[in-house]
Amino acid sequence: MRKIVSLLTLAFLAAGCYKEIRIPTEDKDPVLVMNAQMDNLEETHRVNLSRSLLSKVEPFPGAQVKVYVNGSLVAEAVETAEEYAWNRTAYEFRATFNPGDEVRIEATKDTFHASATVIVPPAVDIETGQYGQVRMTYLDDASDYVEMKVRFQDLPGENWYGVDQRISDLWEYLDDEGNVIPEYTVVSDTFGSIETGFDPVVSEGAGKTSGSDLAALLSVENTYHCFSDAPIAGEECTLRVMTYPWSFFLQEYRYGLLVPESMQDHPDAWSILAKLPVRVRRECFFRLRSLDFTQYHYLKALNNLETFGTEMSFLVEPTTLPCNVEGGLGFVSIETITEYPIARFEREYEPMDTIYY
């Protein structure tokens, strides 16, 4: 009995030892926040700037933003209006990025000065690709998927990759004689939904049918579809990626209407376009993204934060987001993307075909 009392006493004394942590309650020392996610395929890029206080994050207009590539000034970003920019200010610029380029972005206003330097990662060539429709069953729930198999050669040394799918639609409205009305032409880019739970490489460490037992227990999803080359180092690899089939088909009716920029403010735009025939061309691309380690680390940390950020669990460790901004906070990245065309579809719709709003 004496031993039990002693152990309980020790436990009580241990629980009574603590360190007081004082949390500030007033805004002090605002910090400039810079965020940008860019790639080699786009010519127009965007940098978002904010001013971070203890209690809030607010827009940061009026800054001077300069872009240097390999030490030479190539652009000065222009402030751009955004419809829902409640906590940031967007700055846009045009530039071309190539693998191996050193890109430096500097933002200055009054006493604030922040910068970020990024090396554009190497490009990856896709050797072959194929796709087909399959039906998969998980926990007695059967679903149709499109299985994409893409083969590529892993780059020398340590590398980090990501995958996604881009869908590009070209809407061409036609006049009564079947000619394209150029000012009504609309191009729309969207991203398909990739299911990574079935791929042992893409689902690195966190899949429904692969990865560690702990990952399966926590049901972590690889939201950003990124992985390291550790399982395939220096070898040829076939990525087996599942995506949902809706993106590979055009409906047998008009699904809504894409309104051209020239008619955005026209009060009768929808009724005018509905009376015109339209030709829709859809292209589907598989995209293999080459990342540097910092971006890979950032995406994995962001994935964990979004998955467990609001949960209280003894299995979850605190998540720290990497920062590569000097003189401030935030993250700037440039990835090198290789696109592989998967499928192309074309369909013409007559005027007043069924429209779903």
Query: What are 274-302's pLDDT values in tens digits?
Result: 889 999 999 999 999 999 999 999 998 88
Torsion, CA 343, CA 344, CA 349, CA 354, rounded to 10:
20
pLDDT at site 306: 76
Spatial separation of the C-alpha atoms in residues 206 and 221, rounded to whole Å: 6
- Most confident listed range (94-108, 248-262, 314-328): 94-108
Contact 286, 340 (CB under 8 A): yes
Q: Provide the 8-state DSSP code for 121.
A: P
Parallel, antiparallel, or unpaired for β 89-94 and 141-153?
A: unpaired
Q: How far apart are CA 15 and CA 329, in angstroms?
A: 36
In this predicted structure, what is the pLDDT of residue 26?
65
Bridge partners of 160, per DSSP, are: 228, 291
Minimal CA–CA distance to 250: which of 171, 195, 323, 332? 171
Q: Which two tokens stand for residue 300?
A: 């994995």
DSSP state of 245: G
The pLDDT of residue 39 is 97
Domains of the chain, CATH where assigned: 31-119 (2.60.40.10), 126-319+336-349 (no CATH)
Please determine, for residue 64, whether its predicted confidence score (pLDDT) is greater than 70: yes
* Cβ proximity of 24 and 37 under 8 Å: no
Q: State the sign of the Cα–Cα–Cα–Cα dihedral 211, 212, 217, 222.
A: negative
Let me know if 14 is exposed, middle or buried by CB neighbors in 10 A (0-12, 13-18, 19+).
exposed
Q: Global pTM? A: 0.81
Q: What is the mean pLDDT of the chain?
A: 83
> Does residue 207 surpass a pLDDT of 70?
no
196 or 209, higher pLDDT: 196
Q: How confident is the model at residue 209 (pLDDT cuts 50, 70, 90)?
A: very low
> Which among 236, 226, 245, 237 has a CA at the least distance from the CA of 337?
226
Confidence class of residue 95 from pLDDT cuts 50, 70 and 90?
very high
3-state secondary structure of 250: coil
Q: What is the pLDDT confidence band of residue 251, given thresholds at 50, 70 and 90?
A: confident
For the segment 158-174, what is each residue's pLDDT rounded down to a tens digit? 999 999 999 999 999 99
